[in-house]
Amino acid sequence: MLETIRNAWKIPELRKKLLMTAFIILIFRLGNNIPVPYVDTALLSNYFASSSATILGMMNVMSGGAFGRATLLALGIQPYINSSIIIQLLTIAIPALERLAKEGGEDGKKKIAAITRYATVAIGLLQAFGYYMLCRSQNFLTDTGVLPAIVVILVFTAGSAFTMWLGEQITEFGIGNGISVILFAGIISRVPTAVFALYTGIYNWVTGATGTNVLRIHPVGAVGIVLGMLALVVFVVFITLAERRLPVQYAKRVVGRKMMGGNSTNIPMKVNMSGVMPIIFAQTIASIPATIAAFVPKWQNSAFMRAFDTTSVIYCVVYFLLIIGFSYFYATIQFNPVEVANNLKKQGGFIPGFRPGRPTVEFISKVLNKITMFGALYLSVIAILPIVTGAVIGASYLAIGGTSVMIVVSVALETQKALEAQMMMRHYKGFLE
């Protein structure tokens, strides 16, 4: 990764892209430290410190700690993610949107992107209202008047729209997917806090400190946590880079006076084709009931709230099933066996042992279903195992940590590939030279 960045820095155009990406991340981090008026941030921080393993704690991690401090960009990228989920599902359900996505070309993509932006603002407005009601119910507001309410809600909504715009600027002028990079920056900013918490927990255990909110971690347990995280990173990298290659043979044919074809290649199929998106989307959907409950004062500490907590059995089951479903959903969108088989047929290629046409489609679909199931189970285990481990050893913060590691590693690898692709494109001389 560092070698790739060092090589890219030598290319003026890529250097500008890297500087633009770093500048936008800097703006994002500055926005995460500007407090919203009329909110007592000290009381709010204490509240979120006691609910680190809840849905609200997870949203706080995804926003880089901004959600727990009521800053300008407290809502982070969550409204945009929710909007993307809704629009993609509606694209399948509504024929007009499906035609717009498939047949509309570049204009169709722009219209869907515009619809997603409007939906982001609407969802951001709803979440901002919910956040305001949470602060009001817990007496975190310094002023409960109408004007402060309007200011707080509008500032949160504007912050979510601004975060979306920053992500789009990274996608257009920077390196990698802007939304993923923003999410990566938010999570990685929590690493120093996590390291300090681990150190504090060990120190409290050694000194014998006790108390209600005192974190105590056995040194052996701390070593196990670190080794487990390192093993998780290695495993994530291995699976992310793993792929199933389908052999393809091209028949020889005469074009003019030349004999063409006869060579062999392969079709790479990623084991984890959908990347980290199923986890992000499943996390968002699974957290909706508890998020609504958290923002409604009457539902605070209710059985419904506890049932959908990040450490509950119901949440784990729903989370698991949603990851499986979204994995198949994304695999279907990204890889179409019929289209691949038709392209092979047009180019005179075939998979050894299978006739062009329907037999090839059936074989590719069979392989796709197998690797998608493996990839879905892999994502589910990565997401669920830290929750189970945290419940067993009593370290509730692990429920969020495992998913965060998965997102960070996946985004880092995707960004590195995008950077390498940019470098390869600029070093390619072409057939005229």
Write the burial class of residue 102 (CB in 10 Å: 0-12 exposed, 13-18 middle, 19+ buried): exposed
Give yes or no for a contact between 170 and 18, defined as CB atoms under 8 angstroms apart: no
CA-nearest of 123, 50, 129 to 83 is 123
User: What pLDDT is stored for residue 429 in this prediction?
Assistant: 47
In the block, which residue shows the tokens 């257009």? 172
Q: Write out the H or E segment, with its range, that includes residue 269.
A: strand 264-270
Supply the pLDDT for residue 433: 44
Contact 176, 419 (CB under 8 A): yes
pLDDT, position 430: 45
The pLDDT value recorded for residue 432 is: 42
The pTM (predicted TM-score) of the whole model is 0.75
Tokens of 210: 């006790």
Fold (topology level) of 1-189: Preprotein translocase SecY subunit (1.10.3370)
Tokens representing 120?
A: 């982001």
Q: Cα(136)–Cα(130) distance, rounded to whole angstroms?
A: 10
Whole-angstrom Cα distance, residue 149 to residue 155?
Answer: 10
Reference 189, options 31, 45, 420; nearest CA is: 31
Q: What is the pLDDT of residue 154?
A: 92
The segment(s) of the chain belonging to CATH 1.10.3370.10 are: 1-189
Q: What is the mean pLDDT of each run of 10 residues along the chain (433 residues)?
A: 72 84 90 86 75 64 76 86 82 80 76 89 88 82 86 91 90 84 82 78 79 72 79 81 84 63 77 78 73 63 66 79 86 82 81 84 89 87 75 56 73 80 65 42
What confidence score (pLDDT) does residue 413 get?
80
